[in-house]
Amino acid sequence: MKSKLEYIWLDGSEPTQGLRSKTKIVKDFSGNLEDCPMWSFDGSSTNQAKGGSSDCLLKPVAIFPDPDRTNGYLVMTEVLNANHTPHSSNARATIDDEDEDFWFGFEQEYFIYDPETNMPVGFPKNGYPKPQGPYYCGVGGDKVYGRDIVEEHLDLCLEAGLNIEGINVEVACGQWEYQIFAKGAHNAGDQIWVARYLLERTAEKYGYIIELHPKPLGQDVDWNGSGMHANFSNSVLRTCGSKETYEKICEAFRPVVKEHIAVYGAYNDQRLTGKHETASIHDFSYGVSDRGASIRIPVATVESGWKGWLEDRRPASNADPYKVAARIIKTVHGVK
């Protein structure tokens, strides 16, 4: 029997990397990651190499069944240079979480765009729909658009074995969200990227476009932007039972605001304005149940005796979860 292995990787596009993939046919494949062979691609066509020396390598790091293909598998990979060192575009290789002590829950917001109008689904050709208010978690043909794509994507994620924990219509018209939780930063990043891949591929079938720009409708209109809120914990946060420890960890983020914003997604300044459930990109704050803060301390954490997690609300929808996780881990590890 022959199997279809879809090798997925991140290209060298700037300021936001894009997804690329190609299919490898393998005979008598076991379905196990260790039996996925290394592969290569033309890096000169993905902004990752020059034409005179264009070979880049694909190192398989995670595998999932491909529910949209017979005998298919989705293979997430890291990009390596020809000498097997991590490529400069390979942020996954920078994550310092070998013991998988960190758990992440990413909330991926996005817009579904209609290429005929170049606006989100539900928007008329000229102008805007009714103002925000009825769309969030709404139901009905005058409030919800794109549900067919979203439901199909949800089923594909579940069949692929991704740990998707929910979906909902978001605040703006044509805006949706899914949530993925995973133990281990590498695993969480892998699952977000594979879920994004399945979403993009599903949208192809419907003739729609997935928009991950954090403020696609512009910062001067009264419409929410899109984020990728990063819920995170390690063994300390899960067990400490100490308000002082939580505040100490939150304060560790204050002096490295610029370092975090630098990897939290391009054009995020258009989203982090202090409006529409965001903190200003120029400020840093944290608070219990505060969705207008940079970092929210969930009320569930407090009610559990200061045992739980934190939510960094600043990452944009187009942020690389590998980079976000790596930076959060570095900051938390720096707490003495």
- Do residues 121 and 150 share a domain? yes
328 and 214 both lie in a single domain: yes
Beta-bridge partners for 295 = 286, 312
One domain, residues 115 and 146: yes
Q: Of 42, 65, 90, which residue sits at a domain end?
A: 90
Asked if 254 and 160 sit in the same domain, the reply is yes
Cβ pair 226, 108 in contact under 8 A: no
Total number of domains in the chain: 2
Does a structural domain hold residue 324? yes
Give me the residues paired with residue 175 across strands.
Answer: 111
pLDDT at position 38, please? 98
Buried b / exposed e over 164-183, threshold 16 CB at 10 Å, is: beebebbbbbbbbbbbbbbe
pTM of the model: 0.97
pLDDT of residue 53: 80
Residue 162 covered by a domain: yes
User: Among the three residues 50, 65, 90, which one is the final residue of a domain in this structure?
Assistant: 90
Residue 96 falls inside a structural domain: no
85 occurs within a structural domain = yes
Given a contact cutoff of 8 angstroms between Cβ atoms, the answer to whether 246 and 310 are in contact is yes
> What's the token pair of residue 263?
């990897």
Q: Is 33 contained in some domain?
A: yes
Residues 12 and 133 in one domain: no
- Angle among Cα 325, 327, 328 to the nearest 5 degrees reads 65
Q: 236: domain range?
A: 103-333
Kindly give the parts of the chain with pLDDT less than 70: none
Q: Which of 90, 115, 132 is the last residue of a domain?
A: 90
Do 71 and 107 lie in one domain? The reply is no
- CA angle at 204 for the pair 125 and 2, rounded to the nearest 5°: 175
- CATH number, domain of 191, equals 3.30.590.10
319: its two tokens: 């942020």
For β-strands 295-297 and 164-169, DSSP reports them as unpaired
Share of the chain above pLDDT 70, in %: 100
The reported pLDDT for the residue numbered 52 is: 74
Q: What is the pLDDT of residue 221?
A: 85
CATH of the domain at 59: 3.10.20.70
If asked whether residues 141 and 79 sit together in one domain, one would say no
Burial class (CB in 10 A: 0-12, 13-18, 19+), 25: exposed
